[in-house]
Amino acid sequence: MAYDKFTILRSTAVPLPTENVDTDQIIPARFLKATEREGFGDNLFRDWRYDVEGKPKKDFVLNDPTYSGKILVAGKNFGSGSSREHAVWAIYDYGFRCVVSSFFADIFKNNCLNIGVLPVTVSAEFADKLFAAIQSDPSTEIEVNLPEQKIKLLSTGEFESFDINEYKKDNMTNGFDDIDYLLNMSSEIDAFAASK
Amino acid sequence: MEKTTLFDKIWDSHVVKSVPAGPDVFFIDKHFIHEVTSPVAFLNLEKRGIGVKNPSRTVATPDHNVPTVDQDQTIKDKLSRMQVERLRENCAKYGIELHDLGSAHHGIVHVIGPELGITQPGMTIVCGDSHTSTHGAFGAIAFGIGTSEVEMVLATQCIMQTKAKKMRISVNGTLGPGVTSKDIILYIISKISAAGATGYFVEYAGSAIKSLSMEARMTICNMSIEMGARGGLIAPDETTFNYLEGKQYAPKGADWDKAVAYWKTLKTDDGAVFDKELVFEASDIEPMITYGTNPGMGIKVTENIPTTEGMEGSNKTSYLKSLEYMGFAPGEAVKGKLVDYVFVGSCTNGRIEDIRSVAQFVKGHQKAANITAWIVPGSREVEKMAHEEGLVKILEEAGFELRQPGCSACLAMNDDKIPSGKYAVSTSNRNFEGRQGPGARTMLASPLTVAAVAITGRITDPREVFHN
């Protein structure tokens, strides 16, 4: 489905420096029972966010009113494990539009790009800078500029460039998805299949 | 002529078109679907007003979310029932082959694909499940995809993929007694970390790999994703051909000869270049077990949990958080620790050889009183063989509870959950927090180690049990 266009996002951010956050943490398997893509945000980080009785755990960052925003700054190797796209649906549904990390798991990154959440890979040093800036001042704003492929810490002006292939960049800035592209080359695919 | 790898040969022959400064339009030979990651894809097809392009290239089975008891009755859990019913409806509507609950070939999607001979060398195979890498054991390019990509494959038989970098991992020599293919892969992941192969497609090679059975090879390829790899594959050989010959969907007669002739060309050329090469010695590998909350946190059963020496910052914090969850301290031994549950099953180790090895090990013995032992065959076919070979009887006499096929306690979507705080030694593939149930503490190991733990009730080196 065509999704939101992404060009420039300016927002405060939520820091989650934990490393190796797998998609079972982002959304546990028992919440994958839906047959529609709705309401996953309520269970984002479910078992880190709520105790067994369903009460919010005070020490988890999403329950800390100090932090909010459309950008999630995450630790190294974010989104490993299960290919469940539900993890990105939950992140999107909660309100995030961009995830920043020094290292993403492959399938998670693809899933992000496929539904219009921008995964931004930064250096470990820049990630540390972001964590420090957000934690010392939660009102710190970050600007993610997709056309220029730059992520900037607005308080200091420090920035870093990030990679994204031109095709995906074009998709995200225009709100296109891969199926639109593939459907348009249906005859080429048919010819290929026939030659096999 | 350019020297190419096995991965190159299969990949390049499936590229419909390379998008300039973008991914490849990649043709998919075989698409497996299950009840959890497909419903939204079908829903979106309807919203777009399009159908399934080539239903004969898709095969379905419900596995993730199905009960492992009373499979002949209506599923009690409403949401699970709805997912399974939706899969049935979608398969009926679009004419997709379904191996339904209770049918002769029902089972975990990565168990039934090979078992039926649907999985073949040289194919490109995807499924909305990260353990699709299992099928790479046949010399296929197989990997997990998200639901948007499931939709792409249903709609167009293609996905948009950037070609991964290439890594070769060779394991040479002979495995010691009591050491299995599960130990090989847990060892490799412990050496290179849970993210050590991210961005790569891995070819497994070397004499130790070549000597493995197809089922043992599947265990290795299955866990490729646990080191971040896009997938893993092994060049097909006589072991592969012997496994496939006569299988229901394998080519027959002259087609078989033609297929084998092609399959024999599927190997990495001498002198082909990989982006990364790693070499391990089989003799260095011992029975392995994980102690933390990602599959990279593994040690030999006889080793102590690593200390935090040399760690700092979020690396150290994350490590300590993980150990706290597990109830372990840095530097302590795992051997001898009490265990509550053992689980034998999953797409990693739920095949007949796994069940045979557990049954042979526990034959004539009783599980320890503190252990609840679940054994869940990967498919109906495996279950049937286990009965016919008398394995079920041996296991039940030893105190194991046999359940019906499905993913079960590997991801605990159904009722097969390990209670909070309890320790489970499991033949499955993930030890993430809460993976086997909220608060459950999972330690991954081989079927042999799990069998030893079941008998002693404690973390045990299988080589030290029943030597006489």
CB atoms B294 and A37 under 8 Å: no
| Each residue's pLDDT tens digit, B341-362 | 999 999 999 999 999 999 999 9
- Mean pLDDT value across residues B371-395: 98
Round to whole Å and give the CA distance between B68 and B78: 16
DSSP designation for B66: -
Q: Inform me whether the C-beta atom of residue B316 falls under 8 Å from chain A C-beta atoms.
A: no
Q: What is the pTM of this model?
A: 0.97
A9: closest CA of chain B, how far (Å)? 23
pLDDT digits (tens, 9 = 90+) for B268-284: 999 999 999 999 999 99
Residue A175 in contact with partner chain B when CB distance is under 8 A:
no
Residue A3: per-residue pLDDT: 74
The pLDDT tens digits of the residues spanning B82-96 come to 999 999 999 999 999
Q: What would the mean pLDDT of B179-183 be, rounded to a whole number?
A: 98
CA atoms within 13 A on the CB side of A11: 21
**Least Cα separation, residue A88 to chain B (angstroms):** 10
Average pLDDT over residues B184-199: 98
Q: Which residues of B touch A193 (CB under 8 A)?
A: 27, 54, 157
The predicted pLDDT at position B468 comes to 40
pLDDT-derived band at B152 (thresholds 50, 70, 90) equals very high
Q: Does A125 touch chain B (CB under 8 A)?
A: no
Q: Is pLDDT above 70 for A1?
A: no
Give residue B21's pLDDT: 87
**Contact assessment for residue B252 and residue B215, using Cβ atoms and an 8 Å cutoff:** no
> For A39, left (φ over 0), alpha (ψ -120 to 50), or beta?
left
Mean pLDDT of A131-146: 98
Beta strands B423-426 and B341-344: pairing type? parallel
Report chain B's C-alpha Rg in angstroms.
21
B199: left (phi over 0), alpha (psi -120 to 50) or beta: left
Q: Are B200 and B230 a contacting pair, CB within 8 Å?
A: yes
Structure confidence by residue, pLDDT tens digits, B20-41? 989 999 999 999 999 999 999 9
ipTM of model: 0.96
pLDDT higher than 60, residue B232: yes
The answer, yes or no, to whether residue A2 has pLDDT greater than 60, is no
Find the closest chain A residue to B410 by CA distance.
Answer: A29
Return the SS3 of B323: helix
Mean pLDDT over each residue of chain A, to the nearest integer:
96
SS3 B11: helix
Q: Does A179 touch chain B (CB under 8 A)?
A: yes
- In B, minimum Cα distance to A52 occurs at B438
Q: Which residues contact A141 (CB under 8 A, 6 or more apart)?
A: A10, A11, A12, A154, A155
Point out the residue among A75, A82, A167 whose CB comes nearest to the CB of B314.
A75
Tokens in use for A158? 């420090």
Q: Which of B287, B26, B255 is nearest to B160 (CA)?
A: B26
- Distance spanning both ends of chain A, measured CA to CA: 30
Per-residue confidence band for B467, with pLDDT thresholds at 50, 70 and 90: low
Q: Is the Cβ of A25 closer than 8 Å to some Cβ of chain B?
A: yes
Contact assignment for B195 to A25 by CB distance below 8 Å: no
Beta-sheet strands, E only, within B53-111: 58-60, 97-98
